[in-house]
Structure 1
């Protein structure tokens, strides 16, 4: 993104690593937030696409929002995994650009499209085949039938969605990301218009009902990709890469490089998304109302999650700059500073959750629709749990970013397996199903998993950055700490 062009003079830098006190924290808070804000705004614009879908679906009924929520959860699980695989394209392109290797830049663009296409085809096919299996996982048959209809339309959208992500990371690596925010904001407007037209049947078109949301989503994915291509073709520098022979030619080394760098990132993304997807399946076994409440609650928390995503990326960049100068004192402080701002932001939003839970939920669910009152009440209760859950979610998200900032991409994946799958998932099942606490028990178990993951990630960051600091200072590091 364009925020990656921020100069080192605005970052944590290596010149103030030894300074302490309120002045350091204020100065570097401004630098961190200046970098994070555009990222957060772009994230908000992107998440607005699915938020619009959920709001529109909330006007249709419990079964519709439950079915579409289940389908969207599965789609996002695979989309996130595919996005992780091409995330490393930006780093590799940036490295090739600095070295002046234009041929490799073109090869990396091809490699990114190759992996995006492979993921799009495989994941799209998986979405089409997974529908009937959901009944075996305890989901309501009526919900599964409707989810299958939704996925039948939504699955092909995986390809343009991942192609767009590859272009996003490619142009970011060249420090010419184009008007991503403008494209995404325009997509929101198109989504609102298409949803209204396709759901209710306007301008002579038939009323597609809730499947109209899927048609609108796929259409917006395709239009966003084509708009990004058009932007690139109007930029003389970017066009030369997109139209070069290297961007259309197989290069095994580039394909392997994208795979090696992207695989651990993809694994971490998949682990986190999978954790939420499996818990959604557990909740789906508790009934239609529980699944509908989970769909709305997930979307509300997802919006807030975009704040920590921006802070995570910004803190990661500052830490990388400090680490590049062997200034691990500043790297450590920037990690803690980013985490602190994540906690502050989510606690401020938690106050709003606690003060007006029902009005917030009513933005997503129409209280005038028969049967929605119970779902609104259930979701409002979940929002009270989410007030604490989102704090831990922010800390674990930022923890991933700050560990990447000091060069650790495998650690977050291993930690996610412990925190999500060995702690969070069993806790959610035991409290929600075994202890019969219902959906509230699953939400509490999810919170426990996120808290454990956040704590382990933060400890891992502090241990690793302190070890790097001692190594840079020439202090022997015990062999027990080298693993």
Structure 2
């Protein structure tokens, strides 16, 4: 395939995936905007509660993401039996993981106290997690089904289902957070109920579609029967992906914890800035998923040229998006921050002022963040997950986190210092993982 053909194929597969990631993110974005308009304290608590949920969710998603390269390679090789085995056992592992982490969310208030969070914010965050935590069960099953369908290059349905979920979330949030249409005013608990409802609707729709459109794979027939060989393969590939995701999201979670030490308003500003930065990251994540699928299919065909060219195209597209994001973060930060706050909010000006330098710091790590997530996607496509896990742990926790603490608290740069530390960790990961793919993984595939 030519570079133009690769770019076209990436866009055909990638635009629905990017759209679905943005739509998925829009669910939490809606929570943040509505809670910000409802009460800044509730927004700060949702930042903490959402952080705990997201850390555990992304760790469990490693097994879902393992499905993507495994199914892509098996489908390219014409092995439909393996497609079913890998997907079904990924759902098994996701259910077991959900059961294991549920107690952490149900009893989260003590954990947040240990992390030094203000008691009233910790109590509100725990109220959120006691309800929202149950959503991790359908949420992880949804991730498996999304990865399965993406590997089969059936991404449009993923987009439409996710858009439907956004609508459901917005309606239920509006009704239950503020108490409209005769519903009780539940505040942050209303946002939690909406999140669980969304995950259940998404799981039901994707499950019905998968059972109908890919009947030849028989995903749910005799679902209860174990397949320990496939279970082991998915687990071995998936757990390093989960730990890698944990290392990255844990870095941001630790940053949220440190921002909480500075008070509710810096935490709210951090939460808004993080929402904005995460929105742009969804584009890169969608392209990274495309990289995984197309790399897995190239490996299944034994096509080294397509592997290289496809990798070059997705990296170039991601860097273009990153450059445009930098411009936006540096030119219109006040406007973006202001979208999350009511004009009547007494602390509006303070929160925006605290958030603007955070977006400036976020602009610094856009290129690095794009590079690391693209390299990760390509490495997963060739089933290289354990060394990237080590790179992530060293970059984020051995370098990024100490720098965040040093700049934020030792040098007293506070919020901007914490975010500059994030930039350093992401930059290191971007460099090391890019070298890993182009300097080692491609050569290993060529020698196979």
TM interval, shorter chain, is over 0.9
Superimposed CA distance per residue, residues 299-357 of structure 1 (whole angstroms, 9 cap, x where no aligned partner): 11111001111222223444445556666465445434432322221111221222211
How far residue 173 of structure 1 moved from its aligned partner, in angstroms, is: 4.8
TM-fit CA distance, 1:254: 2.4
- Distance in 2 between the 1:319 and 1:108 partners? 18
Aligned ranges 1:48-127 → 2 under 5 Å: 48-93=26-71, 106-127=84-105
The worse-fitting range, judged by mean Cα deviation, of 71-80 and 345-354 is 345-354
Q: Which residue of 2 aligns with 1:380?
A: 356
TM norm structure 2: 0.92
| From 215, 236, 244, the counterpart of 1:238 | 215
Cα distance in structure 1, aligned partners of 2:133 and 2:50? 10
2:269 is matched with: 293
Distance 2:160 2:195 in 1: 18
Structure 1 residue 224: deviation in Å? 1.3
Find 1:222's aligned residue among 200, 217, 220. 200
Q: Is 1:398 aligned with 2:374?
A: yes
Structure 2 residue runs of 5 or longer lacking an equivalent are: none
Report 1:242-281 matches (<5 A). 242-245=219-222, 247-281=223-257
Aligned CA-pair RMSD:
2.5
Aligned 1:293-332 pairs, distance under 5 A? 293-322=269-298, 328=304, 331-332=307-308
Kindly provide the CA deviation profile for residues 46-77 of structure 1, in whole angstroms up to 9, marking residues without a partner as x.
Answer: 11111111110110222111101110011011
Alpha carbons of structure 1 residues 434 and 471: separation in structure 2 relative to 1, 3 Å: same
Instruction: Name the counterpart of 2:365.
Output: 389
Question: Mean Cα displacement is larger for which, 409-418 or 165-174?
Answer: 165-174
- For residues 242 and 205 of structure 1, what CA distance do their matches in structure 2 show? 39
**Residue 129 of structure 1 is aligned with which of 73, 85, 107?**
107
Residue number in structure 1 paired with 2:432 = 456
Match of 1:360 among 336, 350, 369: 336
2: CA distance, partners of 1:152 / 1:327: 49
- Aligned counterparts of 1:230 and 1:365: Cα–Cα separation in 2: 39
Tell me the distance in 1 between the aligned counterparts of 2:216 and 2:298. 33
**What is the rounded CA distance, in whole Å, between the counterparts of 1:405 and 1:180 in structure 2?**
20
Aligned-partner SS, 1:59: helix
* Residue 41 (structure 1) aligned to one of 16, 19, 24: 19
Moved more, 185-194 or 129-138: 129-138
Alpha-carbon distance between aligned partners in 2 of 1:307 and 1:99, rounded to the nearest angstrom: 29
Range moving further from structure 2, 67-76 or 57-66: 57-66
Residue number in structure 2 paired with 1:141: 119
Deviation string for 1:227-263 (max 9, x for gaps)? 223334444x438714422x22122222222211211
Residue matched to 1:157: 135
1:435 is aligned to 411
SS in 2 for 1:205: coil
**Whole-Å separation in 1 of the counterparts to 2:84 and 2:289:** 25
Give the drift of 1:170. 3.5
Deviation for aligned residue 1:171? 3.9
TM-score of the aligned structures, taking structure 1 as reference length: 0.86
Structure 1 pair 327/468, CA: closer, same or farther in 2 (3 Å)? farther
In 1, Cα distance between equivalents of 2:446 and 2:166: 49
Quick check: 1:51–1:299 contact (8 Å CA) kept in 2?
A: yes
The whole-number CA distance in structure 2 between the counterparts of 1:328 and 1:124 is: 43
Q: Is the 8 A contact 1:112 1:166 kept in 2?
A: yes
Q: Aligned partners of 1:311 and 1:110: how far apart in 2? A: 25
Question: 1:207 is paired with a residue of what secondary structure?
Answer: coil
Q: Number of paired residues?
A: 448
The CA distance in 1 between the partners of 2:43 and 2:386, in whole Å, is 36
* Residue matched to 1:192: 170
The equivalent of 1:346 in structure 2 is 322
Which deviates more from structure 2 when the two are superposed, residues 101-110 or residues 452-461? 101-110
In 1, distance between residues paired with 2:226 and 2:356? Answer: 52
The Cα offsets for residues 22-52 of structure 1, whole Å up to 9 and x where unpaired, read as xx4x554344334322221121111111111
For the residue of structure 2 that corresponds to 1:66, the secondary structure is helix
Note the alpha carbon deviations across 1:119-166, whole angstroms, 9 max, x for none.
112222111223212222221111111111111111111111112222
Contact in 2 for aligned 1:107/1:249 (Cα 8 Å): no
